[in-house]
Amino acid sequence: MKDLHQQKELIKRMLSGNISQEEKHQLSQLMADPAFSSLFNTLLDEQGGELVMEQDEQAQLFTNEKLDWFHQQLPVEDSEAPVFSIHRPLWKRILPYAAALITAASGLLFWWSNSAKEHNTSVAQEINKKNEYPVPVEEPVQYTEHFNQGKRRLKVKLADGSVVTIGRKGKIRYPAGFEGNTRDVYLEGEAFFEVAKDVNKPFTVFSGDVRTQVLGTSFKVSALPKSAVEVAVVTGKVRVSYHSGKIENDLATMLPGDKISWKNSRLTKLKMDPKDVLAWKHEMMVFRKQSLDDILDVFRRHYGVNITVINKGFLREKISLTLDEKMPLEKAMNVLSVTAGFDHSIDSLSRTVTIR
C-alpha cells in the first residue's frame, strides 16, 4: 500500500477505532518506512486533535490505547536498522491542559453567571428598597357616643366646647377630639345644639338623609323614627341639605325663627318662636297649632302608652298648649282633653288610652 491517500485513510481508521485485522497488519509493515513515520506524525498534528476533541471520554481513551499499541509495534532501535519514531502529537501533549482549562473556564463562567445574577438581584432588591415608601396606615376613627336612657334631658359638652342637650331615647355619635377640618355629629332622636364658633371647622349634624351645617349657632334637630326631620334655628345661620348616595340638594339656608320639615321628599318651611325651642331644652312640651294626631304621637313616645281614637274627626284639630314633661300621664291627658274637647279613659294595667 504505497498510495499516500490510502495511507492517510488507514491512519484515520486506526485513530477512530474502525480498523480491521488485515489493516493492522498493513500498518505493521509500513512502520519500517521513515516516510510513513513523517506522514503519520503530520497527520496526528493536523487532524488527530480535532478527532479526539470531538470524541467523548470513553472514545478518547480508546484512541490513546491505539496509539500505545502503535508504539509497541515499532522495531527495537539498533545501529543498523532504520528507526520509526512517533513524536507525541502537540494536541495530545496539550489536551490534559486544555481539558483542565476548559473545566476551569466552565467553572469560572458558572461562578460569574451566578455572581452576576446575585449581584443583579441584590442591586434590584436595593433599588426596590430605596423605592419602597411606607404606606401610611390610617388609624381607625374612635367615636364617642351618648345615649339618653333616662326620662330627663341629657346635657353633653363636646371637645370643642359645644353643648348638646339630648332628648329622651336620643343618641349622638361623633369622632373623639374632632381632629381634622370638620366637626361631624350623627343624631338619632331629638337634640338641641349650642355650637362653639370655629370658622375653620364647620359643625355638621347628620340626621338620616338631612345634613345641617353651621359655623357657630344654636338650633334644634328632630329626627324621630317614622317622623319628619325638623330643624329649628334659634341663633346664627344654618344651611340644610339633602343627601342620598351621590345626590346632594340644598334644602334651605335658615336664620333665627326659621323651621323646616322634611318628609317623603317634601319640604315644608315654617316660622316659629325661638323661645319654644328653648322651652324644649328645659323639658317643656310646646305645641303651636299642631294637629291632635301629631300631639298624640308625642304622648305615645313620651309616656310609652297605646292610644286609640274612636272618633277620628278629632285628629285634624289644631291645638296650641305647653306641658311640663314631668307631668303625669293622667294630668297631661286631662289638660289635652279639655283643650281639644274630647272624652277619654285610661287603662293602667294595659297602659292604653281610649279617646271618644
Per cent of the chain over pLDDT 70 is 65
Number of helices (H), then strands (E), in the chain = 9, 18
Q: Strands 203-207 and 183-194: what pairing?
A: parallel
Q: Give the tens place of pLDDT for each residue, 265-290.
A: 899 999 999 999 999 999 999 999 89
Q: pTM for the whole thing?
A: 0.58
Compute the distance between CA of residue 7 and CA of residue 24 in angstroms, rounded to an integer. 12
Q: Which residue has the higher pLDDT, 319 or 31?
A: 319
Specify the CATH number of the domain 143-277: 2.60.120.1440
Provide the pLDDT confidence category of residue 17 given band limits of 50, 70 and 90: low
Answer whether residue 231 shows pLDDT above 80.
Answer: yes
| pLDDT score of 61 | 47
Provide the pLDDT confidence category of residue 136 given band limits of 50, 70 and 90: low
Q: Give the tens place of pLDDT for each residue, 70-99.
A: 555 544 444 343 444 444 454 455 445 444
Provide the pLDDT confidence category of residue 60 given band limits of 50, 70 and 90: very low
Answer whether residue 9 shows pLDDT above 50.
Answer: yes
Q: Give the tens place of pLDDT for each residue, 113-134.
A: 555 455 555 544 554 554 555 5
CA distances from 336 to 50, 86, 311, 340, 352 (A): 124, 140, 15, 6, 16
Helices 4-16 and 21-30 cross at an angle (nearest 10°) of: 120
Say which CATH topology domain 283-355 has: Phage tail protein beta-alpha-beta fold (3.55.50)
